[in-house]
Structure 1
Amino acid sequence: MSVKYQHDYIEVEPEDFPYTEEIAIGGISKLWTFQWNEVGQFFHVDIAEMDGTSIYHGEPLIPYQQLWRGLNILGLPAERIMPLDEAFQEQVLDPSTLNATIRLAVLDHPGDEELLNNGGA
């Protein structure tokens, strides 16, 4: 599989974890909190309204899997977001690969359906 489009990305700074940042997608700002679970060896993200009201807590970042897949919760971004290595080489998401080879891609092209349906496989 090859990626046919250049994606927009959400920049994540793993060396600053945990941290909260205002991120605007589709013109709508939310508070995103990124964390690394040292015991479980995984990243997760919390998302909240700008006033701090929680929308969703503890979404794991898994390579090639869309965030909040199958959830219909008011306040979650309508855009499809996926941890993605556009070369499809990296399978491990950890502090050395996040934002280096695997980045949070905003999938907004018609051809991205293949990525979403196949989980990057």
Structure 2
Amino acid sequence: MSTLEPGEVTDAAALGLAHEPVAADAATSGAPTTGVVELGAFAGAEVGVWEMSAGGMRDVEADELFVVLAGSATVEFDEPALPAIELGPGSVVRLAAGMSTRWTVRDTLRKVYLAL
């Protein structure tokens, strides 16, 4: 999909996403894959849909706000040390740039995000 223009609609839950394997040095369990579709920009933030299949991976986060559409996962915070969070449909999460996280996805997780 190309940029989502004002007045257009897309079904974020039904968008096709081409998946690629998570890099070996980032994968922590299983053989997870991720897919993304960028929908454009809004007020200076990148907007898109991201998905991860079952498995585990490490990541360093961008400044981001997201809403989970489907799936379930646990996110653990290595830096800063914060309590783990559980994600499911409807979860709204804010991450800060530079956070070091570990994602464990049980059921393919799909989210809509805004990131700087």
Specify if TM > 0.5. Answer: no
Instruction: Give the TM-score of the pair, scaled to structure 1.
Output: 0.31
Bigger helix fraction: 1
Bigger strand fraction: 2
Instruction: Give the TM-score of the pair, scaled to structure 2.
Output: 0.32
